[in-house]
Amino acid sequence: MDRVVMRASCRAALVGALLALAPGAFAQALADPTRPADAAPVQGSAASASRAGPQLQSVLISNRPGGRRLAVIDGRSVRAGDKVGGAVVVSIGEASVVLRRGKTLETLRLYPKTVDANDAMHVRRKQVHVTQ
């Protein structure tokens, strides 16, 4: 009888240990309900696998004149002159980075769905004329 009880308790302990290690295997990717609809996809999700090209994630600019300018592209900190996936960082602006691939220039924007500053100025001018 003691042998049967020992085997059952060993099996129960083994099953418990396996179940304790298993949550990662059964986990599935869930959408964050607080994430804005137009936000960039989270790295490692199915949506991020479908995007082509590098993604600008952050821009860091020193307050001092002539200070450092850094950008975070695909999780990597870069400066002007650094290479990113076969392209060279040409310049780092307040909300954008210009990359050169051969003879072509590519602009990565921190907020890709925002209105360009020149477009916003034209919109404001039109609104002023309409209200007067």
DSSP 31-55: --TTS-TTSPPPTTSHHHHH--S--
pTM: 0.49
Q: What is the pLDDT of residues 86-103, one digit of tens each?
A: 999 999 999 999 999 999
Q: What is the pLDDT of residues 14-53, one digit of tens each?
A: 776 766 666 655 555 667 777 766 666 655 554 544 457 8
Residue 59 has pLDDT above 90, yes or no: yes
pLDDT for 50 equals 47
Alpha helix (H) residue ranges in 2-116:
2-21, 23-26, 46-50
What's 53-117's CATH class? mainly beta
- Is residue 124 within 8 A of residue 116, CB to CB? The reply is no
* Segment (H or E) for 59: strand 56-61
Q: What values do phi and psi take at 49, rounded to 5?
A: -70, -25
